[in-house]
Amino acid sequence: MEREVSKEERYVKKLTSKSVDFSKWYVEIIRKAELADYAPMKGMMVIRPYGYAVWENIQRLLDERIKAAGHSNAYFPLFIPESFLQKEAEHVEGFAPEVAWVTLGGNEELEERLAVRPTSEAIICSMYSKWIKSWRDLPVLINQWANIVRWEKVTRPFLRTTEFLWQEGHTAHESHEEAKKETLMILSLYKEFVENELAIAVLAGKKSDRERFAGALETYAIEALMSDGKALQMGTSHNLGQHFSKVFNIRFEDREQKLQYVWQTSWGVSTRLVGALIMAHGDDSGLRFPPRVAPIQVIIVPIAVGNWKESVLPQAQEAEKKLRDKGIRAELDERAEFTPGWKFSEWEMRGVPLRIEIGPRDIKAKQVVLVRRDTGQKESCPVNLLDKKVSAVLKDIQDSMLKENVKFQQGNTHEAKSYDELKEVIEKNKGFVKTSWCGRQDCEDKIKEETMATIRVISLEKTEKGAPGECVFCKKKAENLVYFARAY
């Protein structure tokens, strides 16, 4: 029996325009496309099935790469004894304002407070100190998929929430050279993953000391430009040096039978990547998912005319089966209570990369109509070529979305040779500003204070490859090429 549909349900409500209110558009799209909803607890979100399916695809594709690079998955406890965090004063100081504490177990007060993990270096290092005894035990290459809790004051779904999901890799090595190689390898892996799977262009580079992870020797990151001109940190890779190994006494007998401290790394990406997909690709009609991570790659909409259930629906069902048999995530929308036009709008809002329309005329012509979400382009396709054509179109959509995003990043990356020029670009153009910096934190702090822009990454290039040889702020000798931007 078909249910009654209210008048309000018969159309997809219009979204706020991105250009009018980007923040409102972002929240509306998350809720209307059913990616997530606000939880009863302040600052927390419920990831709904459609949103979680995006995360599952990200997780699967990234996990394949992590394992191919030689890492294994494990799981460590959610709770961390306070004494473990106190062992590493710089580390706990970096997280202290964000840590959630457990003080009661049932009705009994705990002898020692337990932190709900803000990150897992402390608990993992305590285990590595037990497991690693000899150079033969190295390297240790472990990753975990877990939830993290940080008591944030200002939250936004997917971008910054009190609890979020992520993966965190933690490795231990014989030498500094091996640890640095691991750190840069992961940085490169993240860059390749985000560009090829999420179709988002990124800058990869080093963080300034001001932005470095608490307790790390060096922090590297990938940064992307969202469609409102603000930057978003997409992932980080930390060279921890021997900082944690000395605190937690992680030592091994080397090849000359001498005791040495291990060299460590840690790295991670989170459900923030879902937020990046929304902000980098979405438009005024809704989401635009790249096919590789889209929960539904193809939606099939039969045109409900005449005796469509007897004539059109069987052909639509056959098309769905044919595509699914080829490994394509296809779904059939055979709901009779909604018009085809309403369905078109809904699936556009939900970001499905490709729509297939099948009507009585198409049945007679032995064809279907393909409609791309990224460009709106329509074309007819013979039924007998459907699976091959759909695969080719999905690949083209993926490639085209990356090319579009690369073009956007390049068009919104500017060079500044003077401080006045930097301020003008930040205020008028937004985007990335490539310039030179002396390496001194007081210059960095002053620029942030006056422009609200921060150094997103220090380029891995050298200054002689394209920037002036003096700091954009103090005019002293420049040490680095950097990219400034206002950021989330």
Residues 412, 415, 421, 423, CA torsion sign: positive
Q: φ and ψ at 168, to 5 degrees?
A: -135, 120
What's the pTM?
0.94
Same domain, yes or no, for 200 and 123?
A: yes
Answer yes or no: do 274 and 337 share one domain: no
Taking the C-alpha atoms of residue 318 and residue 488, their distance in angstroms, rounded to an integer, is 46
Q: Read off the pLDDT band of 10 (50, 70, 90).
A: very low
Backbone angles phi, psi at 269, to 5 degrees: -135, 160
Rounded mean pLDDT of 177-197?
A: 98
Q: Is residue 369 part of a domain?
A: yes
Closest alpha carbon to 355 in 405, 284, 286: 286
Q: Are residues 371 and 434 in the same domain?
A: no
Q: Where would I find the H helices in 327-469?
A: 340-349, 360-365, 386-411, 419-428, 441-451
Question: Do 182 and 148 share a domain, yes or no?
Answer: yes
Query: What is the average per-residue pLDDT within 4-10?
Result: 46
CA distance 167 to 91: 19
- Whether 93 maps to a domain, the answer reads yes
Contact criterion met (CB below 8 Å) for 135 and 255? yes
Identify the domain boundary among 336, 358, 393: 393
pLDDT band at 92 (very low <50, low <70, confident <90, very high): low
Q: Within a domain: residue 11?
A: no
**Secondary structure letter of residue 71 according to DSSP:** -
Instruction: Give a yes or no: residue 291 inside a domain.
Output: no
> Which range marks the domain in which residue 206 is found?
22-281
Q: What is the CATH number of the domain that holds 338?
A: 3.40.50.800
Please indicate, yes or no, if residue 30 is contained in any of the structural domains: yes
* Residues 263, 124 within the same domain: yes
Domain's final residue, options 334, 362, 393:
393
The span from the CA of 121 to the CA of 85, in Å, is 9
Judgement on whether residues 82 and 213 belong to the same structural domain of the protein: yes
pLDDT surpasses 70 at 83 = yes
Read off the pLDDT of residues 65-82 as tens digits, 9 standing for 90 and up: 999 999 999 999 999 999
Residues 166, 103 share a domain: yes
Number of domain units in the chain:
3
Give the pLDDT confidence of 390-412 residue by residue, as tens digits. Answer: 999 999 999 999 999 999 999 99
Q: Mean pLDDT over all residues of the chain? A: 94
Please measure the distance between the N-terminal and C-terminal CA atoms of the chain and give it in whole angstroms: 48
Is the model's pLDDT at 102 over the cut of 60? yes
In terms of domains, do 206 and 348 share one?
Answer: no
User: Is 265 in the same domain as 359?
Assistant: no
Cβ pair 316, 299 in contact under 8 A: no
- Residue 380 shares a structural domain with residue 421: no
Report the CATH number that the domain containing residue 100 is assigned in CATH: 3.30.930.10
The reply to whether 119 falls in a domain is yes
> 470 with 384, same domain?
no
Q: Is residue 209 part of a domain?
A: yes
Sign of CA dihedral 28, 32, 36, 42: positive
Same domain, 255 and 325: no
Query: Does residue 399 lie in a domain region?
Result: no
Q: How far apart are CA 76 and CA 144, in angstroms?
A: 8
Radius of gyration of the chain (CA): 26
Question: Does residue 304 or residue 471 have the better pLDDT?
Answer: 471
pLDDT tens readout for residues 202-221:
999 999 999 999 889 999 99
What CATH number is attached to the domain comprising 425? 3.30.110.30
Q: Which of 393, 425, 455 is at the close of a domain?
A: 393
